[in-house]
């Protein structure tokens, strides 16, 4: 296939903007010109690459072409930065909320003056999907299986403990963490994709649908809700407020092993980010947590 760079830019801009109109504004052309470039690219590849919905959706074939488009864009930006020294490179990265709230932002901060970050917050079980469809170049993920075209490195584990305030523990667990108590005690859950509390309940033989749920979809606010007595929740060791919460079940910790996945493409910018993330993970995460290497 002889793929045209302008057509690849049109695909990348359309996916980034979510529409042909948005891509046209970014590329300073008309929506008709964007549409023509996309049609020519689909003709060249012999595949449908986009579903023209609102926002547009990338097809499975489109994911591979989108990865190529963004890899070429990153290589070009790094080359321009080396030649001119003024190019600001934007790196889209997927990160789970707890990592973003604790150790990832400090890791990236020293690079923020030279690189621009487009951070996608997603559950660690889902970040690999953003790599797969080409929306990000790298991800902190719980998936040890490398996405096609990506390399994977184990980062370490985040340990979560079932915790509550002393008052909540006395109210809901007067006889300890029993099946009956877990079935009726309110539980704080990050969002509907958060399986940590449900995983712990299943380990204890409790139907996750039994207890009442409080949904608090922000990492710091989640811990605040537990501190305020909304209920119990799985709190990461990196966010445990000293002396404010009690561990309901010292043997009930849940380990989530995290991995760094990134494109195999080597560029100075992506290498610097990887080095920063891996160095921070060495200090922040548990390297004895069970999981696949």
99-127: per-residue pLDDT in tens?
999 999 999 999 998 899 999 999 998 89
What sign does the CA torsion over 143, 146, 151, 152 have?
positive
pLDDT the model gives residue 293: 41
225-265: per-residue pLDDT in tens?
999 999 999 999 999 988 899 999 999 999 999 999 998 88
β-strands 150-164, 57-58 pairing: unpaired
What the chain holds in terms of domains, given with CATH numbers, is: 1-86 (1.10.10.10), 158-255 (3.40.190.10)
123-180: per-residue pLDDT in tens?
998 899 988 877 889 999 999 999 988 999 999 999 999 999 999 999 999 999 999 9
pTM assigned to the model: 0.81
What sign does the CA torsion over 173, 290, 215, 180 have?
negative
pLDDT the model gives residue 154: 97
**Rounded distance between C-alpha atoms, residue 167 and residue 160, angstroms:** 20
């Amino acid at each position: 296939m002889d793929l045209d760079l302008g057509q690849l830019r049109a695909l990348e801009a359309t996916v980034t903007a979510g529409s042909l109109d948005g891509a046209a504004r970014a590329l300073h052309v008309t929506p008709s010109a964007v549409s023509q470039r996309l049609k020519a690219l689909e003709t060249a590849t012999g595949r449908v690459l986009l579903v023209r919905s609102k926002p547009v959706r990338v097809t499975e074939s489109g994911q591979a072409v989108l990865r190529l488009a963004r890899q070429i864009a990153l290589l070009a930006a790094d080359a321009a930065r080396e030649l001119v020294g003024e190019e600001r490179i934007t790196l889209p990265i997927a990160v789970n909320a707890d990592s973003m709230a604790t150790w990832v932002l400090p890791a990236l901060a020293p690079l923020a003056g030279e690189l621009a970050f487009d951070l996608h917050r997603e559950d660690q079980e889902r970040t690999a999907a953003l790599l797969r469809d080409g929306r990000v170049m790298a991800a902190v993920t719980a998936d040890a299986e490398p996405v096609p075209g990506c390399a994977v490195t184990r980062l370490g584990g985040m340990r979560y403990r079932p915790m509550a305030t002393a008052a909540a523990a006395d109210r809901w667990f007067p006889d300890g963490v029993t099946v009956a108590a877990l079935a009726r005690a309110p539980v704080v859950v990050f969002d509907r994709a958060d399986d940590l509390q449900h995983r712990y309940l299943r380990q204890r033989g409790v139907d996750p649908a039994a207890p009442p749920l409080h949904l608090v979809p922000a990492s710091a606010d989640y811990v605040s809700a537990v501190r305020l007595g909304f209920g119990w929740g799985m709190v990461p060791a990196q966010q445990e407020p000293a002396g404010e919460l009690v561990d309901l079940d010292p043997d009930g910790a849940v380990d989530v092993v995290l991995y760094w996945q990134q494109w195999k493409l080597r560029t100075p910018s992506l290498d610097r980010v990887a080095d920063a993330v891996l160095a921070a993970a060495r200090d922040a995460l548990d390297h004895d947590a069970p999981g696949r290497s």
